[in-house]
Structure 1
Amino acid sequence: MYQYILIFLLFISFGINAQNISGQAFYQSKTTVDLDALGGGRGEMTEEMKKTISQMMKSTLEKTYILTFNKEESLYKEEEKLDATPMNPRFKMVLNSYTPGAQYKNLKSGKIIEENEFFGKQFLVTDSIKTLDWRITKESKPIGQYIAFKATAIKKVDPNDFSMARPKKKDEKENSGVKKDSAQLQDPMDMIEIPEEIEVTAWFTPQIPVSNGPGEYAGLPGLILELNVYRTTLLCSKIVMNPKDAETIEPPKKGMEVTREEYNKIVKEKTEELRENFQNSGGNGRRGGGFGG
């Protein structure tokens, strides 16, 4: 039965202003963190400690994004907010060492251009849209005033994508390297792992006939209204169709132009440098600086 509903919605949607469609979708993002696994083997956190850390990380784990789109292009960026959350300066510096900026997608050319700030240096990263092998299921649900259909896909994870990092299990930590003196702080890189692949779940609506969605995701027969990627959920909270005062959709231009491969190499080299500095300092918290030049 769902096939007929989907076909009907596709027929109706693509027949109504499909060529001139434009809009803005607002997404609420929430990422979960296993605070128990962040103890690093130094004892479990108290509930008060968990509450304090959760409050400190709230601005990082809960964000609002805006997708401005038309039939062929989109601009995806975080909504600017004043963050008044008190935070330890060093902790804040670590969280802000990587800051994603505006992301432009062109569905016709298959290109993505995005601004990324990494340890104080601005990069303009160019990549191709990675087409996932979406499997549309029989499940559907209402999201706001729209009917959304569920689709799933398996995504290969870049080994340098630390947004996908997860704490290693206890036995994996014990077997990950040489034994360290108990007085020496454990190398953070020995405490995490990055999965090779993850499952992505999207809920899309053919009532808005654009093959687009938040972030890098696209390729479904309708706008993605909800997205679940590993520990992060993005849920569309508001849609404004054909807005008069929407931001102009154009590629970002700020930063050193690099390909995705070049950018990943820079991230890997900088991460290895910071890890070496950490090990040479005996884990006393000394950090390497930003980029030279």
Structure 2
Amino acid sequence: MKALHFLVAILFINTLSAQNFTGKAIYKTSRKSTISFGKNQPGITDKMQEELKKRMQKMNQKTFILEFDKTTSTYKEDVKLDNPNPMAARSGVMVMSFGGSGSTDVYYKNIKDQTFSNKTQIMGKPFLVKDKLELYNWELSSETKNIGMYTCYKASYTKEVENISFSMVNGESKEAKTKETVTTTAWYTTQIPISNGPKDYQGLPGLILEINDGKSLIVCTEIELNPEKEIKISEPEKGKIVSKKKFIKIQKKKNDEMMEKMKSRKGVELGNGIQIKMGG
């Protein structure tokens, strides 16, 4: 297997140095919701719970665009405005989204320098998270499958992660933290010889077309190489500059504040144009 890894790496380097191209890849994402309410909650009927779950599931199904050249890329959501849902309002459960958290994010990667800049926000406050890219300990496999017209190879890595789930019990929000070992599986193609992929994923000898960590799935549905319309990739500049570690600390503080608000209300303003209300 080590010989296979070495051969793939050499072929990747030779192919990449011989080509100079740009491209655009479209990814569809979906994620399992961790929100639950339990049974017989005051003011929350089964119908209301079902409606809210459907709305949250829809919010977790998104489309993203990766624009790339040999060494840099930007990854951002392809935002479309949803039509108002009058049924949601009449059911007593209302989830309103105007762009939504993350809809204006731009994730910039510089593969050559192994750095990233993520333009994002927390409850409307802009941040620019700048740090080193994560080094994934990928294990390459000879297993293959086709995604569209591309032959893809399997790679995976395993790590321990902390999961945070939210629930509503007797009108109060509850937060539960658990740790588990998660295996993330990637499928990449050496037919597009760039060490890149969706979100912060990278480090394989070809473009990553699919990522699955058991809870979220990202699948490439369309690729356009060397498009007629010129692709210009630039690093985002606006926002308070913080490290990844600092941003996670700020994010946790804001989440804790939000949970405190939910304990004393039937609803909460999440920021970024998102509001959840339960009851009449």
Pairs within 5 Å for 1:92-103 = 92=96, 96=100, 101-103=105-107
Evaluate the alpha carbon distance shift between residue 276 and residue 55 of structure 1 in structure 2; reply closer, same or farther with a 3 A threshold: closer
Are 1:111 and 2:115 matched, yes or no?
Answer: yes
Cα offset, 1:123, TM superposition: 0.9
Letter in 2 for 1:131: L
Q: Is the 8 A contact 2:196 2:207 kept in 1?
A: yes
Residue of structure 2 in register with 1:188 after alignment:
174
Cα offset, 1:93, TM superposition: 6.2
Residue of structure 1 in register with 2:184 after alignment:
200
**Which structure shows the higher strand fraction?**
2
Cα offset, 1:230, TM superposition: 3.5
Q: Is the 8 A contact 1:105 1:112 kept in 2?
A: yes
**Paired-residue identity, %:** 31
Task: Answer with 268-277 or 146-155: which moved more.
Answer: 268-277
Pairs within 5 Å for 1:84-233 = 84-86=83-85, 91-92=95-96, 96=100, 101-157=105-161, 165-166=164-165, 184-189=170-175, 192-193=176-177, 195=179, 197-233=181-217
Q: Is the 8 A contact 1:18 1:71 kept in 2?
A: no
Cα offset, 1:54, TM superposition: 4.4
Cα offset, 1:135, TM superposition: 0.7
Letter in 1 for 2:172: Q
* Structure 1 residues without counterparts, runs of 5 or longer: 174-181
Are 1:248 and 2:243 matched, yes or no?
Answer: no
Are 1:27 and 2:27 matched, yes or no?
Answer: yes
Task: Answer with 222-231 or 94-103: which moved more.
Answer: 94-103
Residue of structure 1 in register with 2:11 after alignment:
11
Task: Answer with 234-243 or 55-64: which moved more.
Answer: 55-64
**Which structure shows the higher helix fraction?**
1
